[in-house]
Amino acid sequence: MADLKKLIKSVNTHIQWLGIIKSSLMGISTQLVANTFLPFDPWLSPLAGSFASLIGWWIHKVGRDKKDVAISLIHNHNPEAEYSLDLLDRDDLNIAEQMQLERIGQRNIRFTRRILYRGMWIYLLALVLATAVNDGWPAIRDRNAAPAKAKTTSSAESKEQAPVMPKFESAGVKIVPPAYTGLPQRKSGDLNVSGIVGSQIEWSVWFDRPEQLSVRIANSRGEEVGLRQINGVFVHQDRLAGSGLYSIKGYWKDSLVYQSDFYKLEALPDLAPRIEPASKELYQYHYLKDPKRIRISAKISDDFRVRQAFIVATVARGSGENVKFREMRLPLSPADFREANIQKTIDLNALNFTPGDELYYYWAAIDNRTPEANFSKSDTYFVVYKDTANVEESELATMAVNVMPEYFRSQRQIIIDTEKLIAKRKKLKKTEFNSVSNEIGFDQKVLRLRYGQYLGEEFETTIGGGDNPAADAGNIIDAFTHHSDGQGEGAESRVGEPRTGEPAHADEHAHEHKQEPAGEKDPLAALMEQYTHSHDDAETNTFYEQSTRSLLKMALEQMWQSELHLRTYEPEKALPFEHKALEYLKTAQQKARTYVKKSGYDPPPIKEKEKRLTGELKELATKWEFEKEFNQKQTGALAAALLGYLEKDKLAKADQAKLAQLGSEMVQRLTGSEPFNGGLQNWNMIAALQKLVAGRALSDSEMNGLKQDLYKRTDAALQSRSPWLAGKKLEAAFRKALR
Amino acid sequence: MIHTDFNWTGPLNLMLLLAAVALLALQCGLLYTRHRHSGRFGIRLFLNLLVWLSVVAWIADPYLQSGASSKVGLLIAENVSSGVTGRIRDSLVGVEVIREDEIASRQVDTLVIVGQEFDDKVFASIRQLKNLPDLHWKPYFAPGELRDLHWKGILRKGEMQRIEGSIQTADKKMLRVRYAGHTLDSVMLNPGSNNFRLAFPAFSEGRTTTSLDLDGQTIDTLGFFSQPGQMLTIRFLLDNPDFETRNLATWLGKQGHSVLYDATLSKNIRSKLNINRATEPELIITNVSNAVDPAIKKAVNAGKSVLFLQSGDPVAELRSINNALGTRFQTVKTSNDESVPLSPSLMARPFRFEPRDFQVKTPHYPVATETTTGKIAVSLLNETFPMQLAGDSMAYGRVWNEILAYVRPAQASVIEWDAPVFRNVPVKIYLNNFQAVSRFLTLGQDTISTTISALNDRSATATFLPVQNGWVPLHDSLNTELYVQDYPSLRYAWRMQHFIQSTQQVNAGTRLTDNAVSTRKLPGWAWFSWLMLCLAALWIEPKL
């Protein structure tokens, strides 16, 4: 009996609990559904849930004794109980009832609890459905939202949607260096870009609501490029060509909703290949006995790869105007390397390098840059094949600048000639001997004249001795070339012949332009003549230092003497002077490395007061009026004006506009300034100015930095003093009283 | 002598007296009718009279005035160190130390005030004293604290800002004036009391705030306003154009000045170049040969400036300038060389100017100016353009900026005031050379009236009492602003100084008539207890 009571009690409790669970499930389901459709009020859905729970409570009559239900359930499913369990509750049982109870008490009555759970699935299903609705509905609603909005802007909804501005989420940049560099591509969230020129750059910008938004990249001059929207991401691709600053701006319905800081865009150049030849000696001689193969080497490197290196060799042959060049390109191996030590053997025989020839060569290399490669070349190396057979001539024939005219070396020739003449004296007839001696004397004179020119002794008339044919024709070369028609040297050597025009002309030359009207001459010559009348003045020749000049002078004196003796047919007496002259000349040659022909002139002083304002004034405008305007402010003034704005916390609109104008002008000047003045190195300052122009607040350190930078650019100097003025009478009285 | 301030003519007072007399009559009447026969009539009469007299005396409120017995009070600010306080107290004999709240009650003849950091109430209570004592102020500043500081509150760009002040330091310290961390000028301070002077050219346009650092620690911020520099109109009057002047004209034009370049090219041919739309010149640059030109004389008489360039023979040329314009330039030859170098790229004639009255020399270059009606300046510099050709445009600018600073004529509307300006301390604003001095100036939301100087009709002053810190706009075309500083230690000193000055003015007016006297009165509680005592006696007497 006790067992039965126990069973009934347990079933009763079970039913109670199930009631609680069911009402809770109802409550939860209702709350979920309410939560889905009424998302705005945080209190509404729990309220609905609890209300549903209460209804469930009420339906299931939770809390009320369910003994009857339990007993009827046991009766229904246990025929053995014989519908007698109610007897258990009775207090006064008659005998029949007691026996009945004892009877069923002995039976083993069981109750399968599963039966209680019948109908539970409805609640579980409701919960599942409610969960599904709660999860799935927002997605469905959002999918339908856009077309719905496009169709009809229901007033309540648009009011809630309109003020939500798109917000910047993130941005990234992908840098793909040119393929030839072999550098890996880079992705980063840092928008300060620096890459090799020609790199492909891709900006990606994310906003939380990309609808109706246009995103642009703006440079420091305010020029903008729009970004394309692909699946909600704003993308822009471009090739890196130059350095600069940029910022990202977002426009939403024509209003600027986002502006980033200014970022740096730095284009790093691809450097040209670097060539370091092993040999530092640029100029070397090659002798007959030297090996005919030259080994040269160089280290060639590039920041990426060297595609090809080669040697360009030129052989020069011949002399005077008959110089021929042959250029060859000798490709080097290996090719396509990053850094290599390249050796090359130049076979001179293969180049047909003969004495007197010269070989010029240089290293060159191109790198793998595309589209056009960088090219670089080394210094040019010279190899001169010393022509031992013809030293003097070979020196003249080469391309190298011959530092001395030929005449400078013929004093030795004169000596040799003289010695020859002396040796042959006995074999020659007297007239012939005299003639040769005279000719040598002439040579000596020519040489002397030649040197005399370097000392300013242009015409021998002014030094003494014979006339200079150069004075006639104005062509100095003529004097030293043989003309068959009796001009030049030959004519000159006829000492005894009477001359009529020439001395007169020489005299005339001394006083030239006074007698000759300027118009009759060649106009240019006439003009020059006016100014170039300072011959004969050895002192004005400033090309040589004092010692060299005196040496040359001494040589000239010796030449005079030697000529004298040669002309008087006494070559023996001339010889010591010739030697002496040679010695002086050689010393002078050693002293002054180069001899530059005198070309300047010293104009006579102009008497300004007499000459001024005395020219002819025909066809001249009497009034010269011009107007000029400098609109651009000096950078100093610009910086000073900007500094004034920095102290203000709040700027009026007009002030802000003015500040923007000044700031952008300053930025332009800074970015436009050459690297020497900082150029883009000022980018801290530029970025701060840009921020200021955009009307954004600067941090303390930025402001400090900007102030310092601007201060450096102001023209801080004393420019005025505080003036104070009194009435004229008062001042005059004051001065009078004090004096 | 006993005095009373009772006003005998006031009707209320008369009624009061009448009431007193009535009271006496009532007292006597009652006494006579009721207590005539009691044995103690005399005593009762006496007591009644005593009460009545006491009441009358209380109404009349008499005080005792005694001759001047010089009493010295010592009022010490809280921040004054005890050492200083003790020293001062010892040095003054018979001094009483007065607390701030005792000023009204402790009447003294001489009040020695030590320190300046007092509450505003102190000033009010001193001023409300019946007899204003003689005030002696001993300022007190802690070491390392500025004792005095002055600078220009407003100046033109390019003008020298001068900061002068004094400070006491314990050891060697560096005082710097900085702008955004950049040192503009500095001075080394020796231990002890130092007067310092710092100077730098105003470099900005508008509000500028610099800071004063003592060994890296900011001790004060100095705010001032720089007005944009005034552009000049310059006329070149030359016999012949040359590179020097042409270069100078271009440079001036680029600086924003207007230039009229006038040169004779040949007989009857003149060239005129107008840069930046020049009109009426304020400065004429010319050669000495033009000194007698009537245009120059006219310009000088009109208050314009003239600068003579390129002296060939300074002695003779200065003589002709002196003759023509009434100046007194005189030079002394300093060298036999043709020119003396001032810097590697700048040469000058080998002369120097003799110092004379009314003449000012530029500090770095041989240029002297003499002020007559206008300014006349003579330069002994040789050509300056080589500096610019050599690429040193900075040096070129420095030379000409300095010369221009000295030859610049007085231009329109000068407004000046001395900084610092403190809240509740009046500041004097000076106006000069205004086209028409306006009768009122508007500062912030206040309007103040100007006072035109009696002597100089071009000058005026105005006094302004700022009531709040920060920049106060003057509402003029240059957006000028006045900076009201907030630096406590100096503000207190300024206020105290101003207070002392104002009280001295008051004292000066009253001293002759007012003898130094001290008054003594019976305090309220004494009156109360005396009256109570009299009444108690009157009440107790019948019970005995």
Q: What is the DSSP string of A467-523?
A: --THHHHS-HHHHTSB-TTS-HHHHHH--SS--SHHHHHHHHHHTHHHHS-GGGS-H
Query: In this structure, what are the phi and psi dihedrals at residue A463, rounded to the nearest 5 degrees?
Result: -100, -25
Length reported for chain A: 739
With beta carbons under 8 A apart, name residues in chain B contacting A626.
271-274
Q: Which residues contact A548 (CB under 8 A, 6 or more apart)?
A: A588, A591, A592
Q: For B496-525, how does the pLDDT look when each residue is reduced to its tens digit (9 = 90+)?
A: 888 888 887 665 555 444 455 667 788 889
- Residue B235: its pLDDT value, please? 92
User: What counts of helices (H) and strands (E) characterise chain A?
Assistant: 23, 20
Which of A378, A260, A381 is CA-nearest to residue A314? A381
pLDDT at A512: 41
Strand order from edge to edge, sheet including B95-98:
B95-98, B72-76, B110-114, B134-138
Angle at A623 between CA A620 and CA A628, to 5 degrees: 120
A131-188 confidence digits (pLDDT tens): 888 888 777 766 655 444 444 444 444 444 556 778 888 888 999 988 888 888 888 8
Q: Which residues of B touch A659 (CB under 8 A)?
A: none
Which region holds residue B36: left if phi is over 0, alpha if psi is between -120 and 50, else beta?
Answer: alpha
Q: Which of A105, A48, A51 is nearest to A80 (CA)?
A: A105
Please, what are the averages of pLDDT over each run of 10 residues along chain B (544 residues)? 82 90 91 81 88 90 73 84 85 81 79 84 83 83 84 89 90 90 90 91 90 88 88 89 89 91 81 88 90 88 87 84 89 87 87 88 90 89 87 88 88 84 88 83 89 86 89 86 81 85 66 58 89 91 82
Mean pLDDT of chain B: 86
Chain A window 658-717: which residues touch B at a Cβ cutoff of 8 Å? Answer: 703-705, 707-708, 711-712, 714-717
Secondary structure letter of residue A317 according to DSSP: E
Q: B274: which chain A residues are within 8 Å (Cβ-Cβ)?
A: 625-628
Q: How big is the A-B interface in CB pairs under 8 Å?
A: 179
CB contact under 8 A, B229 and A719: yes
Query: What angle do helix axes B41-60 and B524-540 make, rounded to 10 degrees?
Result: 160
Q: Residue A219 is encoded by which pair of tokens?
A: 């440079």
Q: Which residues of A touch B358 (CB under 8 A)?
A: 735, 738
Q: Rounded to an integer, what distance in angstroms lies between the CA atom of residue B241 and that of residue B245?
A: 7
CA distance A253 to A211: 10
The answer to whether the CB of A379 falls within 8 A of the CB of A362 is yes
Q: How confident is the model at residue B534, as a pLDDT? A: 92
Q: Which secondary structure element, helix H or strand E, spans residue B86, and what is its range?
A: helix B82-91
Cis bond before residue A334 (omega within 30° of 0): yes
| Contact check, Cβ <8 Å, A624/B265 | yes
Q: What's residue B533's pLDDT?
A: 93
Which candidate from B152, B157, B405 shows the least CB-CB separation from A640?
B157
Q: Which of A613, A714, A739 sits opposite B204 (nearest CB)?
A: A714
In the stretch 462-521 of chain A, residues with CB closer than 8 A to chain B read none
Asked if the Cβ–Cβ distance from A707 to B179 is below 8 Å, we say yes
- Which pLDDT belongs to residue A531? 54
What distance in Å separates the CA atoms of residue A658 and residue A662, rounded to the nearest whole number?
6
Contacts of B406 in chain A (CB under 8 A): 721
Instruction: Flag whether residue A731 sits within 8 Å of chain B, measured between CB atoms.
Output: yes
Does A620 lie at the interface with B, CB-CB under 8 angstroms? yes
CB A301 within 8 A of CB A363: no
Whole-complex ipTM = 0.75
Residues of B within 8 A of A643 (CB-CB) are 203-206, 208
CB-neighbour burial class of residue A136 (10 A; exposed 0-12, middle 13-18, buried 19+): exposed
Cβ neighbours of B432 in A, within 8 Å: 724-725
Residues of B in contact with A708 (CB under 8 A): 179-182
pTM comes to 0.54
Interface contact A719-B228, CB threshold 8 A: no
Which pLDDT does position A546 carry in this prediction?
56
For the stretch B123-132, pLDDT in tens is 888 888 877 7
Nearest CA to B375 out of B351, B401, B409 is that of: B409
Q: With a CB-CB cutoff of 8 Å, which residues 402-441 of chain B face chain A? A: 402, 404-406, 408-411, 414, 416, 432-433
| Residue ranges in chain A whose pLDDT is less than 50 | 146-160, 391-409, 461-521, 533-542, 592-598
Quote the CA–CA distance of B82 and A543 in Å, as a whole number: 87
Q: How many C-beta atoms surround the C-beta of residue A698 within 10 A?
A: 17
